[in-house]
Amino acid sequence: MHATYPLLRQTDFPSIRRKALDTLQVNLGYKCNQTCLHCHVNAGPTRKEVMDLKTIDTVIAVLEARGLATLDLTGGAPEMNPHFRYLVERARALGVRVIDRCNLTILSEPGFEDLAAFLAQHKVEISASLPCYSQDNVDKQRGDGVFERSIRALQALNALGYGQPGTGMVLNLVYNPQGAVLPPGQQQLEADYKRELAAHFGIAFNQLFVIVNMPIQRFGSTLVSKGTFASYMELLKANYLEKNLDSVMCRTLVSVDWQGYVYDCDFNQMLGMPAPLGTGVRPHLEELLRIDANDGPIAIADHCYGCTAGQGSSCGGALA
């Protein structure tokens, strides 16, 4: 599972510490209806790891006890967790902002036909994967037919008010480059997406998030098999910008895996690098009920250069 981890562990990346914690990013499981080439989670239809109800109740307890502002739900396809809707309802009742990292095709899967309406009812923010505005590129990266299903899903979300002015219903899109290259500038690419999607499909959205492909799990293994792992790491390091250190996502976020263990980010989670919360063991979510994670150290390795290269990268897109 952690095949690329030894290649990343030795690092000269600078030490960083957390600021005030405000976001809980929770991986609800690795089960997904898609199998994407760039996936750093190695998610897919055959994965069985799913967060149970007891752990989800602990998530809710931590949100309330720590007064956290944001719950960021990811996977796999987070919506495939049987307790997804329960968690959303409880978090929204606490006034917590909820983000659903949605692959769009889940909205048309059997049994999920009312999911879009549920998300709209609870004003859940959607960060939706769409690696390009052309069919060939999307289907190449995510599978045949994904582009068409994604377009239909976006049109349905627009019809519910998502991405429309004045509704407060946020629809953001997420771009990952194809291959071992840095993504283009976020601002210009967002303008291209908005122009092309509006002109050809009548689709509107709020922002485009441009994210660097991380050299871990499925994408990392592909780099290793092609003999391009070292050159990709050299690319990331050559484009390191110190100013991005101030706003990398791990400064204000902790990541929780499907079993409830705590990491500094989703990528550290996939590499088995627990958050150094000072407990001497792999920290569990329950410990956030009694431990102050603010100003604590952050576990680092060479993949951290992916978040600080060029315009920077986070779950909220470019940093610069």
What's the number of domains the chain is made of? 1
Cβ atoms 116, 66 nearer than 8 A: no
* pLDDT (0 to 100) of residue 1: 37
* pLDDT (0 to 100) of residue 280: 67
Residue 213 covered by a domain:
yes
Digit-by-digit pLDDT tens for the chain (320 residues) are 333 434 556 789 999 999 999 999 999 998 887 665 555 566 677 788 999 999 999 999 999 999 999 999 998 899 999 999 999 999 999 999 999 999 999 999 999 999 999 999 999 999 998 877 877 666 666 666 788 999 999 999 999 999 999 999 999 999 888 788 999 999 999 999 999 999 999 999 999 999 898 888 778 888 889 999 999 999 999 999 999 999 999 999 999 999 999 999 988 998 889 999 877 678 999 999 988 888 889 999 999 999 999 998 888 888 86
Give the domain CATH number at 47: 3.20.20
115 SS3 class: helix
Residue 318 covered by a domain:
no
Residue 101 covered by a domain:
yes
Residue 295 covered by a domain:
yes
Residue 314 covered by a domain:
no
Reading the block at residue 107, the tokens are 């909205």
Cα dist from 37 to 44, 75, 161, 206, 224, whole Å: 11, 15, 31, 26, 14
* pLDDT (0 to 100) of residue 34: 65
Residue 152 neighbours by CB distance under 10 Å: 15
Q: Is the pTM of this model over 0.75?
A: yes
CA separation for the pair 253, 20 (Å, rounded):
9
DSSP state, residue 41 = S
E-only strand ranges, 211-301: 253-256, 262-263
* pLDDT (0 to 100) of residue 36: 58
Site of tokens 């994670």? 293
Counting Cβ atoms within 10 Å, is residue 70 exposed (0-12), middle (13-18) or buried (19+)? middle
Dihedral over Cα of 266, 126, 144, 187: its sign? negative
* pLDDT (0 to 100) of residue 13: 94
Q: Which of 163, 151, 37 is nearest to 105 (CA)?
A: 151
Domain ranges, residue 265 = 5-308
Dihedral over Cα of 301, 130, 127, 49: its sign? negative
* pLDDT (0 to 100) of residue 244: 94
Site of tokens 């492909």? 213
The residue count for the chain: 320
Residue 319 covered by a domain:
no
Residue 230 covered by a domain:
yes
Dihedral over Cα of 297, 302, 305, 306: its sign? negative
Cβ atoms 105, 150 nearer than 8 A: yes
Cβ atoms 174, 138 nearer than 8 A: no
* pLDDT (0 to 100) of residue 4: 40
Residue 178 covered by a domain:
yes
* pLDDT (0 to 100) of residue 67: 96
